[in-house]
Amino acid sequence: MGKRVSLAGWVHANRALGAVSFVVVRDRCGIAQVVLSESLALVPETVVEVEGDAIASAQAPGGVELHDPSFHVLAEPAEPPPIEMRRPVPKETLPTMLDLAPVALRHPQRRARFEIAAASLHGFRATLDELGFTEISTPKIVASATETGANLFSVDYFGRRAFLAQSPQLYKQMLVGVFERVYETGPVFRAEPHDTARHLAEYTSLDAELAFVRDHFDVMAIVREVIAGMVRAVRERAAPAVELLELELPEVPSEIPAVHFADTGVEDVDLAPADERRLCEERGALLFVTGYPMAKRPFYTHPEPDRPHYSNSFDLLFRGLEIATGGQRLHRYGDYVAALGDKTDPYDAYLQAFRYGMPPHGGFALGLERWVARLIGAHNVRETTLFPRDLNRLTP
């Protein structure tokens, strides 16, 4: 006889066989089959509480059955769910899954993706905590662009024009002057004018910035530690999700290979998506591309000392997609004044940091949705966003 256990969750599937019915109950840990000696009609997604004898059963979904149960319905759905939860992989298209997100996300195969995201976030934080970084939270309503003026969302801020932060770039740099090593995880906003598989209007940026670097290679060494820590955390904290999604987690080499932009064979000032795919096929699943032309980098970027047309910056490609960007920053006040020209006004407060002494520093930002998309082999970043925001989507 099994141990008496109690379980609360949702009716995942329900099957009557003569006088016996099998009810599969799903909770946050997985699924368990409940065997009833009566025929009980339960609508999928009914919320139930069950007490029964736990019996190991190889054939049962989840490997456990509850026998001789007492069953309480806690909440009845107003109507059956629009998605068949019992299918191992939902058959609905991505737009339908996104429209139905509050219920679609309950599907184990969907939920697993966000368990991977949560474990990744944990790995990011844990790695940087260990390396002496301080976690910060900076404003998302801001007065100036940080990346390019093109994709800024404007906000009416008590009658003044303000913007949604494109990145915590300026604040993380200012705070390097305070803490030396900082990181932040949070939403950032880009009014992306195109509907692409890699762009969201709001995404989760995992940012770090550190002082006393020699150049961008010191930053890349930290990126390597962070990626290794994120993979480790996914393996340890999201093992059931890794198994369910049959993921092959990447091996993170002790040094991630790097190629200079000048050696990529690309004539333009930036890589096209096809270049990113080709370079990863040729050189490795994880690959740094360094030295992007200054023409494509933001004003705070440090040039390459001997070839100032190139920059001390990098992108990290993972399985054919850019997932992170970073580099060494300008740190001398005079260099910022020269870089901004007559546009210093909105940056007055930021420039205080440089006027009063800033060490050589650099940092990076990694897009969480893109990272998880590449881990699970999803083509579209909307697949790994709980409630995506894009050109067409403001709800759910």
Q: Is 288 in the site for ligand AMO (CB under 6 A)?
A: no
Among 26, 370, 382, 389, binds ligand AMO (CB under 6 A): 370
Q: Is 184 in the site for ligand AMO (CB under 6 A)?
A: no
Residue number, 65 or 276, with CB nearest to ligand AMO: 276
Strand order of the β-sheet with 286-290 is 134-135, 181-189, 202-211, 361-367, 321-328, 313-318, 286-290, 258-260
Question: Please, what is the minimum distance in Å from the beta carbon of residue 142 to ligand AMO?
Answer: 13
Among 192, 276, 304, 383, binds ligand AMO (CB under 6 A): 192
Task: Please list the residues that pair with 259 across neighbouring strands.
Answer: 289
**Quick check: 341 and 349 in contact, CB under 8 A?**
no
- What is the rounded distance in angstroms from the CA atom of residue 351 to the CA atom of residue 330? 11
**Segment near ligand AMO (CB under 6 A); pick from 134-142, 255-263, 287-295, 366-374:** 366-374
**Quick check: 299 and 146 in contact, CB under 8 A?**
no
Among 364, 374, 376, 382, binds ligand AMO (CB under 6 A): 364
Q: Is 328 in the site for ligand AMO (CB under 6 A)?
A: no
Among 9, 363, 376, 382, binds ligand AMO (CB under 6 A): 363
Closest CA to 228 of 319, 113, 372, 123: 123
Q: Is 388 in the site for ligand AMO (CB under 6 A)?
A: no
What residues contact 370, with CB distance under 8 A and at least 6 apart? 198, 203, 318, 321, 322, 323, 381, 384
Residue number, 148 or 352, with CB nearest to ligand AMO: 148
**Segment near ligand AMO (CB under 6 A); pick from 104-112, 236-244, 267-275, 359-367:** 359-367
Among 45, 65, 115, 147, binds ligand AMO (CB under 6 A): 147
Question: Please, what is the minimum distance in Å from the beta carbon of residue 66 to ligand AMO?
Answer: 43
Pairing of strands 141-142, 30-36: unpaired
For residue 144, give the DSSP letter.
S
Among 234, 324, 330, 375, binds ligand AMO (CB under 6 A): 324
**Segment near ligand AMO (CB under 6 A); pick from 73-81, 131-139, 287-295, 358-366:** 358-366
Question: Please, what is the minimum distance in Å from the beta carbon of residue 207 to ligand AMO?
Answer: 6
**Segment near ligand AMO (CB under 6 A); pick from 58-66, 106-114, 133-141, 196-204:** 196-204
**Quick check: 238 and 247 in contact, CB under 8 A?**
no
Q: Is 210 in the site for ligand AMO (CB under 6 A)?
A: no
Pairing of strands 258-260, 286-290: parallel
| Cis, peptide link before residue 298, omega less than 30° from 0 | no
Q: Is 286 in the site for ligand AMO (CB under 6 A)?
A: no
278 alpha carbon, distance to own chain's centre: 24
Q: What is the SS3 string spanning 377-395? A: CCCCHHHHCCCCCECCECC
Residue number, 120 or 167, with CB nearest to ligand AMO: 167
**Quick check: 182 and 222 in contact, CB under 8 A?**
no
Question: Please, what is the minimum distance in Å from the beta carbon of residue 114 to ligand AMO?
Answer: 16
- What is the rounded distance in angstroms from the CA atom of residue 354 to the CA atom of residue 173? 10
**Segment near ligand AMO (CB under 6 A); pick from 32-40, 62-70, 85-93, 357-365:** 357-365
Give the tokens for residue 356: 């009063």
**Quick check: 188 and 205 in contact, CB under 8 A?**
yes
Q: Is 361 in the site for ligand AMO (CB under 6 A)?
A: no
Among 31, 48, 200, 213, binds ligand AMO (CB under 6 A): 200
- What is the rounded distance in angstroms from the CA atom of residue 184 to the CA atom of residue 261? 28
Q: Is 69 in the site for ligand AMO (CB under 6 A)?
A: no
Please identify the residue of the shown chain whose CB is closest to the bound ligand AMO. Answer: 367
Q: Is 314 in the site for ligand AMO (CB under 6 A)?
A: no
- Is 132 buried (19+), middle (13-18) or exposed (0-12) by CB count in 10 A? exposed
Residue count, binding to ligand AMO (CB under 6 A) = 24
Among 325, 336, 375, 383, binds ligand AMO (CB under 6 A): 325
Binding site residues, ligand AMO, CB under 6 A: 147, 167, 169, 190, 192, 199-200, 203, 205, 207, 322-327, 363-367, 369-370, 381
